[in-house]
């Protein structure tokens, strides 16, 4: 750092530092708008086209958030044809607390690598004759990656993965 005499003032001047600072500022002028655009698009969760995913295999369609926040409720919407039996992999539920299932399953059993949810209307036969919709309401517990699958009684299986932000 050099001291320079300007008229009657003594001013510290470090040209190398100032050049470095200007470079950093120029980079930040580009980075900050990119972060803003990514946030609006949903890259950090809470809506936007990048955060919501929909997957369909056969008669099974699953809609879920790709990016979720720890301790913020998220929903997985499931649509299937004809049967009210669903299986959810334990690996999918590992990092979450299952808050509720809508509609309430008649029976829920954990077997091996899956949790089986049986939905049946008391006034009808075991087999539904129309489309079936269920929603899993989950609370993420720890940040990181989560993944697994959901399958319907007809064998259709959808794989999904989520990223949990702190």
pLDDT digits (tens, 9 = 90+) for 104-140: 888 888 888 999 998 865 444 455 456 788 999 999 9
What integer pLDDT is reported at residue 20 of this predicted model?
94
Average pLDDT over residues 31-56: 81
- Whether 46 is covered by a domain: the verdict is no
- Identify the pLDDT of residue 82: 62
Look at the chain and report how many structural domains it folds into.
Answer: 2
What local confidence, expressed as pLDDT, does residue 26 receive?
93
- The CA distance from 137 to 140, in Å, is 10
Does residue 29 sit in the same domain as residue 87? no
Q: Is residue 13 part of a domain?
A: yes
Q: Is the pLDDT of residue 39 over 60?
A: yes
Please report whether residue 133 resides in a domain: yes
Q: Do 33 and 59 sit in the same domain of this protein?
A: no
Pick 1 or 67 by higher pLDDT: 67
Bridge partner list, 67: 163
Cβ-Cβ contacts under 8 Å for 11 (sequence gap 6 or more): 3, 4
For residues 74 and 155, membership in a common domain is answered with yes
Please check whether residues 34 and 101 belong to one and the same domain.
Answer: no
112 CA to centre of own chain: 25
Note down the domain range covering 106: 52-165
């Amino acid at each position: 750092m050099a001291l320079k005499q300007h008229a009657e003032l003594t001013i510290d001047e470090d040209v190398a530092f100032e050049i470095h600072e200007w470079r950093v500022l120029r980079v930040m002028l580009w980075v900050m708008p990119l972060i803003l655009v990514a946030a609006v698009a949903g890259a950090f969760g809470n809506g936007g086209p990048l955060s919501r995913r929909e997957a369909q295999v056969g008669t099974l369609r699953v809609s879920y958030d790709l990016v979720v926040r720890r301790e913020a409720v998220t929903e997985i919407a499931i649509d299937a044809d004809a049967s009210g039996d669903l299986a959810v992999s334990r690996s999918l539920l590992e990092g979450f607390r299952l808050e509720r299932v809508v509609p309430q399953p008649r029976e829920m059993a954990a077997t091996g690598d899956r949790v089986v949810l049986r939905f049946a209307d008391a006034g009808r036969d075991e087999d539904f004759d129309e489309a079936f919709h269920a929603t899993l309401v989950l609370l993420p517990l720890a940040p990181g990656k989560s993944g697994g699958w959901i399958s319907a009684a007809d064998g259709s299986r959808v794989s999904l993965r989520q990223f949990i932000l702190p």
